[in-house]
Amino acid sequence: MHTYRPSEGHGLKHNPFASIIAPRPIGWISSKDALGNVNLAPYSFFNAFNYTPPIIGFSSVGYKDTVSNISETGEFCWNFVSQSLAIKMNQTSKAVASECDEFELAGLTKKPSSEISVPHVQESPVVMECKKSQIVQLSSAAGETVESYMVLGEVVCVHIHQDMIKDGVFDLLKADPVLRAGGQGDYFTLSAQHMFEMIRPQS
């Protein structure tokens, strides 16, 4: 076994952490500051955390614009990243001034949301409109605060493009998600041959 304590380094060519906990869905988050500046950025420390009410969240390493905006306005949208949107998603990760609108930077269309004032990506096949429930600053096991912030939000409205619904079931393969792996620029896609079904044991 290659065993290491993260506090003392991993001893490999590349840090394996983000390659092991992978692939991860991408939280492509649109938000808006109190002055109305719109922002869009990808976060792969992203997942779903509850069914009822549905809660999703992401973690920002540093107090980035997205966190600051959601702290100010209490709203954000999650935009699904399809393969066809991968390059544009990547463009929106550029470190730019908070006044810079990443929708314009990447040539994406802003679509008004139904329940919140933050627009979403019209080109995305699935969008979840969210209201902030918590922003948690992370801390170490020793109780020291870490400069990372976990943002959680309740999903108040979901939009799914009709083309992604087959016989009443959401077709994830059709939506063609981009998934983040490790390394500097590794990603995965999904394919039918990699899918299998396993039903939970009855209690």
Ligand X SMILES: Cc1cc2nc3c(=O)[nH]c(=O)nc-3n(C[C@H](O)[C@H](O)[C@H](O)COP(=O)(O)O)c2cc1C
- 124 and 30 Cβ atoms separated by less than 8 Å: no
Exactly one of 23, 30, 32, 43 binds ligand X (CB under 6 A); that residue is: 43
- Minimum Å gap between C-beta 168 and ligand X is 31
- 155 and 137 Cβ atoms separated by less than 8 Å: no
Smaller CB separation from ligand X, 39 or 73? 39
DSSP 8-class letter at 37: -
- Residue 82 contacts ligand X per CB under 6 A: no
- Minimum Å gap between C-beta 90 and ligand X is 5
Q: Which stretch binds ligand X (CB under 6 A): 5-13, 37-45, 157-165, 190-198?
A: 37-45
**Residues in a beta bridge with 124:** none
**Closest residue by Cα to residue 128 from 153, 105, 106, 110:** 153
Exactly one of 41, 56, 77, 108 binds ligand X (CB under 6 A); that residue is: 41
Q: What is the C-alpha to C-alpha distance for residues 64 and 29, in angstroms, rounded to an integer?
A: 12
Smaller CB separation from ligand X, 41 or 118? 41
- Residue 73 contacts ligand X per CB under 6 A: no
Q: What is the C-alpha to C-alpha distance for residues 89 and 108, in angstroms, rounded to an integer?
A: 10
**Binding-site ranges for ligand X (CB under 6 A):** 26, 39, 41-45, 59-61, 64-66, 90, 93, 95, 180
